[in-house]
Amino acid sequence: MKTRRVMFVSLLFLLALIGSVQANSVFVIEPSKEVTQSVQTDWCKSIGGNVSVDGGNIDFYVTDPSGTTLLSYENISFINFKFNTTQNGTYVIHLANRWSANNVTATLFYGRNFEVTVSETIRMWQTVTTTTMTLTTPSTNPWIGPLVQIALIVFGAIVCPLLVNVLSNEIRRRLQKWRDGEPKTPSTVSR
């Protein structure tokens, strides 16, 4: 049991580590040049991070596996970004130095966020039963109702107290016998 618990906690810890993968890259970008960072996104739900630039500004944009531009920011020195990965494949992060006559240093930090979906199919069946009831009324005799009421009154007023009295006397007798225990002297004396 303890081994199972340790294995379960270890598995949860491993899944937490796998939940996001991070990368940090530093690029020196010459004037009028562009650098790219390719990110493989199989099983990845989204990518997020930031770019910071020293020595000038850059253009930042991201393309999906089909070449469509998802994000585009111009003339930035710092930007936070996030986008959902709707296709499996390689997304490309572009950093272009179009604004400075000197080299700039860009630091790209990003993380791939994974999502694990666990599902279970539950099937339920329901049976519906239909019951038909027919109510029949007995013939009404005017004496039956009052006779039943009289019998209930007699039973409640006379028989019930008698039964309670008999039962309580029997319980009292057995309780006393239990307290006294078995007789210690013989009840019959022989001569």
For the chain, the domains span 20-114, 146-181
Instruction: Specify the CATH class of 20-114 in words.
Output: mainly beta
Nearest-angstrom CA–CA distance, 43 and 113: 9
Query: Across the chain, how many H-helices and E-strands are there?
Result: 3, 8
CB contact at 8 A, 97 and 32: yes
Nearest-angstrom CA–CA distance, 57 and 76: 5
Q: Give residue 15's pLDDT.
A: 45
Q: Give residue 171's pLDDT.
A: 87
For 58, the 3-state DSSP assignment is strand
Nearest-angstrom CA–CA distance, 186 and 165: 32
**Which amino acid would we find at residue 104?**
V
Q: Give residue 19's pLDDT.
A: 44
**Burial (Cβ within 10 Å: 0-12, 13-18, ≥19) of residue 148:** exposed
Q: Give residue 108's pLDDT.
A: 93
Q: Give residue 14's pLDDT.
A: 45
Q: What is the pLDDT along the chain (191 residues), one digit of tens a residue?
A: 556 554 554 544 444 444 445 668 899 999 999 999 998 887 778 888 999 999 999 999 999 999 999 999 999 999 999 998 888 899 999 999 998 999 999 999 988 876 655 555 666 666 666 666 655 545 555 556 677 677 777 777 777 778 788 888 888 888 888 888 766 665 565 55
